[in-house]
Amino acid sequence: MRSVSTAHPVAAEADPVRRAAAHATTRRPALGPAASIGLLASILVSLLAASSTPTPLYAVYQQHWGFSPITTTVVFGVYAVAVLVSLLVLGKISDHVGRRPVLLAALLGQAVAMVVFDLADGVAALLAARVLQGVSTGAAVGALGAGMLDIDPRRGSFLNSLAPTIGTAAGALVSALVVQYLPAPTHLVYLLLLGVLALQAVGVLALRETVRRKPGALASLSPEFRLPRSARGSVAIAAPVLFAVWALAGLYGALGPAITRTLVDSTSVVWGGLSLFVLAASASLAVVALRRTPTRTVMLLGAGSLIAGVVITLVSITSGTGGSLSATGFFVGGAISGFGFGSGFQGGIRMVMPNVEPHERSGVLSLLYVVCYLGFGLPAVIAGVLVVHGGGLVRTADEYGIALIVLAVAALAGLLLGGRRTGRTSG
């Protein structure tokens, strides 16, 4: 007797449709691991490059609109504040909704910021652009860093340390060269970045998602400073170093252009961007050179190099202006302290992140960036006020440098007293 199928005809027709849809989904073009981690690193480079791009332009804006050095540091500092708020509110959301949606939204926000910069006609527009830039960067850095660690923990940790320093260096120098030698100085550099961001957004559409969605996205928007127990000891040791090295970057970002132009007695914006470039380029070299060095050793080198470099920088600043010797010493000090920046930043990331579970990566990495951007923004804004209402540029730079040395010494003491066991376990 012939058997008769009892399957519903609609269901029988639907099965091939479902299979075809599933097959099409699996065949959706997606980047491989190497291309994916490269794309994520390139976005981190672009975001940090965009953040340092306005640095050589502050002198141009100041000439056009006649604002004071306090305004310059407020424009500089509002970016750091926006990053901090964004990190606290949006830092963990990619652990819940996925990396790709957060990155697409952040790239869109960054693109809007570039348009506002391009159309800026006053300080209010600069402030608005910096806020947009800060919010989108803060939303992205945790997702980018966690995404790279999801794909390859070893290479991801290395690129998390390298990409920000490359971006800072590239943004400062390329912006200065564009402003100095190409037309439309306050427009072209932002349009170029806009094109790069658009290409990267297309790349994100081809990324494979590295985390599963999970509930709690709205609850994650509530700021909190809770750390996993496994990471608390390493964060306590790494945080002072991270704060100190990013405060150094804040010094060069906020006051570096003015100090450099004073030392070399030149109004060229290239000199203004060169100081930050030297610092960040040296930091990049440190990340590469020390990538296989034990973590605790890297942290010690970071604090020690920071102290030595800032001492040389202070001697150069106070030895006089307009002389080649003092200018050379300033750049040498910047290179040495930049090596400390790269070492300390890399060491901090490497000390903490191996102690964190995959689903905690974005939140913990965002908290580390909170420490970094507190160091980056807060001292710089205070320095801007002191330049005008305190003892002027040179004295403020001296006071800032001395404070950096005190911070670095405290971080070094913390490493020597409490970091030995943590360094062995995570290095």
For 102-119, write each residue's pLDDT tens digit.
999 999 999 999 999 999
The owner of tokens 């306050």 is: 186
Q: Is 322 left (phi over 0), alpha (psi -120 to 50) or beta?
A: left
Give the angle 235-237-242 at the CA atoms, nearest 5°: 75
Question: What one-character-per-residue DSSP string does 319-386 give?
Answer: T-SS-HHHHHHHHHHHHHHHHHHHHHHHHHHHHHGGGS-GGGHHHHHHHHHHHHHHHHHHHHHHHHHH
Distance CA 177, CA 415 (A): 40
How many beta carbons lie within 10 A of that of residue 402, not counting itself?
A: 13
**Per-residue pLDDT, 386:** 81
Assigned token pair, 98: 């996925």
pLDDT at 421 over 60: no
Confidence of residue 379 (pLDDT cuts 50, 70, 90): confident
3-class secondary structure, 280 = helix
Supply the pLDDT for residue 152.
92
Residue 238 or 8, more confident = 238
Q: Identify the residue with better confidence: 416 or 158.
A: 158
Over residues 256-292, the pLDDT tens digits come to 777 887 888 777 778 877 888 999 999 999 999 999 9
CA distance 91 to 274: 32
Average confidence score pLDDT of the chain: 82
The pLDDT value recorded for residue 29 is 56
Residue type, 357: E
3-state secondary structure of 235: helix
CATH class of residue range 33-209+229-426: mainly alpha
Sign of the Cα torsion 38, 95, 360, 29 reads: negative
Token pair 């923990």 in the structure block, residue:
153
| Sequence letter at residue 74 | V
Contacts of 40 (CB under 8 A, 6+ apart): 144, 147, 148, 151, 159, 207
- The pTM score is 0.78
pLDDT (tens digit, 9 = 90+) per residue, 310-363?
Answer: 999 888 887 755 455 588 888 999 999 999 999 999 998 888 888 888 777 877
Q: Which pLDDT score is estimated for 14? A: 42
pLDDT of residue 196: 95
Residue range 15-74, pLDDT digits in tens:
443 444 344 344 455 788 999 999 999 999 999 999 888 877 877 888 888 877 678 778
Q: Is 412 helix (H, G, I), strand (E, B) or coil?
A: helix
How does DSSP assign 62-109, residue by residue? Answer: HHHH---HHHHHHHHHHHHHHHHHHHHHHTTTHHHH-HHHHHHHHHHH
Q: What percent of the chain has pLDDT over 70?
A: 89
pLDDT tens-digit readout, 136-192: 999 999 899 889 999 998 899 899 889 988 998 888 888 888 888 888 878 999 999
pLDDT at 131 over 90: yes
How many CB atoms sit inside 10 A of residue 31's CB?
17
